[in-house]
Structure 1
Amino acid sequence: MQNIVMVVFAVVYVGMVLGGLPGLAVNRSGIAVLGAVALLAFGVLDSRQAWASVDMPTMSLLFGLMLVSAQLRLGGFYTFMARRIAKADLPAPWLLLLVMAAGGALSAVLVNDIVCLAMTPILVEGCLRRRLNPMPFLLGLACSSNIGSAATLIGNPQNMLIGQVGGLPFGAFLLDALPPVTASLLAGWGVIAYVHRGDWNLERHSAPAPAVEFRAWPTAKGCLLMAAALAGFLWLDVPREVVALTVGGFVLLSRKTESQAVFSLVDWQLLLLFLGLFVVNHAVAEVGVLGDMFAGLRGLGVAPEQPVWLFALTAGLSNVISNVPAVMLLLPVCASPQDKLLLALVSTLAGNLFLLGSIANLIVAEQAARMGVFMTWRRHLRVGVPVTLVSFACAALWLWLRWTSLQVAAG
Structure 2
Amino acid sequence: MMIVVAHLKVSGAFRALGAVAIEHAHAPFMLLVTVTLLTGVLSAFLVNDAICLVMAPIVVHVTRVINRNPVPYLIATATASNCGSVATVTGNPQNMVIGALSGISYPAFSAALAPVALLGLIAVIVIVRIVYRAEFERKTELSPEVYRGRMLPGQVLKAVVVCIGLAIAFFAGVPVAKAALVGGAILLVTRAIKPARIYREIDGPLLFMFAGLFIVVAGAEKTLLTPDIVASAKDLGLDDVWRLSGFTAVLSNIMSNVPAVLALRPFIPGLENPERAWLVVAMSSTLAGNFTLLGSVANLIIAEHARVSGTPLSLGAFFKVGLPLTLVTLLVGTGWLACFMPGQ
User: What TM-score comes out, normalization by structure 1 length?
Assistant: 0.77
Deviation at 1:399, TM superposition (A): 1.3
Q: Distance between the aligned counterparts of 2:248 and 2:22, measured in 1?
A: 36
Partner Cα distance (1:247, 1:359) in 2: 25
2:300 partner amino acid: L
| 1:253-272 matches, cutoff 5 A | 253-272=189-208
In structure 2, the partner of 1:281 is 217
Q: Alpha-carbon deviation of 1:82?
A: 2.1
Asked if the contact 1:131–1:202 (Cα under 8 Å) also holds between the matched residues in 2, the reply is no
- Matched with 2:251 is 317
Q: Which runs of 5+ in 1 are unaligned?
A: 1-64
What do the CA deviations read for 1:357-379 (whole angstroms, capped 9, x no partner)? 00000001111221111111111
In structure 1, how many angstroms separate the alpha carbons of the residues matched to 2:182 and 2:123?
38
| In structure 2, distance between residues paired with 1:371 and 1:292 | 52
* 2:339 match: 401
- The CA deviation at 1:77 is 1.5
Q: 2:238 corresponds to which residue? A: 304
Residue-pair matches, total: 336
Quickly say closer, same or farther: Cα 1:212–1:271, change in 2 above 3 A. farther
Deviation by residue 1:142-182 (Cα, 9 ceiling, x = unmatched): 00000000100000010001011111110111111111111
TM-score of the aligned structures, taking structure 2 as reference length: 0.92
Asked which structure has the greater CA Rg, the reply is: 1
The answer (yes or no) to whether the contact 2:39–2:81 under 8 Å persists in 1 is: yes
Please give the secondary structure, in 2, of the residue aligned with 1:84: helix
2:92 is matched with 156
2:151 matched to 1:226? no
* Percent sequence identity over aligned pairs: 33
Pick closer, same or farther for the CA change 1:211–1:332 going to 2, 3 Å: farther
Query: CA 1:297–1:253 in structure 2 vs 1: closer, same or farther (change >3 Å)?
Result: closer
Check 1:297–1:156 CA distance in 2 against 1; reply closer, same or farther (3 A cut): same
Unaligned runs of 5+ in 2: none
Q: Of 340, 343, 347, which residue of structure 1 is paired with 2:278?
A: 340
1:94 is displaced (CA, Å) by 2.3
Q: Does the Cα contact within 8 Å between 1:353 and 1:384 map onto a contact in 2?
A: yes
- Report if aligned partners of 1:323, 1:347 keep a CA contact under 8 Å in 2: yes
Deviation at 1:267, TM superposition (A): 1.4
Change (3 A) 1:125 1:171: same
Residue in structure 2 matched with residue 25 of structure 1 by the alignment: none
Structure 1 CA distance for aligned equivalents of residues 226 and 217 of structure 2: 8
Q: Secondary structure at the match of 2:134?
A: coil
* Secondary structure at the counterpart of residue 147 of structure 1: helix
Indicate the residue corresponding to 1:370 in structure 2: 308
Q: Take 1:96 and 1:208, find their aligned partners in 2: how far apart are those partners?
A: 17
Q: CA RMSD in A?
A: 2.2
Q: Indicate the larger mover: 354-363 or 89-98.
A: 89-98
State which of 251, 262, 279 in structure 2 corresponds to 1:328: 262
Q: Distance in 2 between matches of 1:235 and 1:402?
A: 22
1:380-391 alignment runs, 5 A limit: 380-391=318-329
